[in-house]
Structure 1
């Protein structure tokens, strides 16, 4: 048997065993490419999410920007106007003297010889500030034919008294004319020559 000795590496040869000189370059892995594609994918994903979010928010903004559609409000009831209070009429200025008259039956006194008389009940009121004189002779009766009748004194039991009326006072009594007639109004004159006041006979 031939004894073969293991071949020793020559001086020009590179050792094949590990640790003996520079190693052959390892094949380069595509790690950088993988990382690049991974980052690119993440960026694209974020961009897509941003676009979707922008579209969603723009849709909301468009809803916000557009004026809200108002539902037709129910027709409000027409305002009811408060009824205007009737204007208070100022009381008519009272005359200094007022006269009221009405028809009454003639009441024959002991002085009357017959019933051929017509009597009218008269109420005279002093609304003025001064005292006035009242006397049957200051009152006349005018009938529906326009004839004037003076008072016949003492013929009626309820004849108007002769008095002085203070402000705010009144007096009532009858004025009697001779004959039968239909009385229309009476006229009172303060002191015969003063102002005349008429009162219709009711």
Structure 2
């Protein structure tokens, strides 16, 4: 004969226990991804800063390279690094001017070969200061007037025309150089052999 256990009413404030008297095992707290998100966010920021730094360094490196390319190239200087003894020595005659030319106003002295008196003459004195003979010819002279017009020499127009000679070192010669027309002479130029060095003297 089965015994009847007395029935106890269920208290609603008390948890219902399953048979055996043991309750359910406690559930572990749920893990959130907040830590992972924060970790990934920090890593991303650090990575971005590193990337910006790398780009900046690369850009700075390129800028330095460009600056060195444009500024480090040495300027080309003739005879740079050479001493005075290594340089070619200047010719003494050229250094002191191998020719001295002087010019002054003078009256035109009409020769029998001149067609009229419409000429202008300048008295010149030429001195050879060089070590070699100097060829002198009236055709080696020109006269430039105050208007900038150049006048070539008129052969045999003036009786005092400068002679055609070979001037020895230390010698000098004087004579007239004459241009066609009446004008105010400003300076005279003597060219050594047409294509040689030129020498200028203002007309005083």
Q: How high is the TM-score relative to the length of structure 2?
A: 0.53
Q: Which of structures 1 and 2 has the bigger CA Rg?
A: 1
Name the CA distance, whole Å, in 1 between partners of 2:98 and 2:115. 38
- Does 1:120 pair with 2:130? no
Q: 2:198 aligns with which of 172, 193, 196?
A: 196
Q: Give structure 1 regions of 4+ aligned residues with deviation exceeding 4 angstroms.
A: none
Name the counterpart of 1:167: 169
Shift of the alpha carbon at 1:168?
0.2
Name the CA distance, whole Å, in 1 between partners of 2:171 and 2:96. 14
Unaligned stretches of 5+ residues in structure 2: 1-94
Shift of the alpha carbon at 1:94?
3.2
Unaligned stretches of 5+ residues in structure 1: 1-92
Secondary structure of the structure 1 residue equivalent to 2:105: strand
Matches within 5 A, 1:99-110: 99-110=101-112
Q: Deviations over 1:23-69 (max 9, x none)?
A: xxxxxxxxxxxxxxxxxxxxxxxxxxxxxxxxxxxxxxxxxxxxxxx
Q: 2:144 aligns with which of 118, 142, 145?
A: 142
Matches within 5 A, 1:21-32: none
Name the CA distance, whole Å, in 2 between partners of 1:128 and 1:195. 13
Superposition RMSD in Å: 0.8
Secondary structure of the structure 1 residue equivalent to 2:139: helix
Equivalent pairs, count = 110
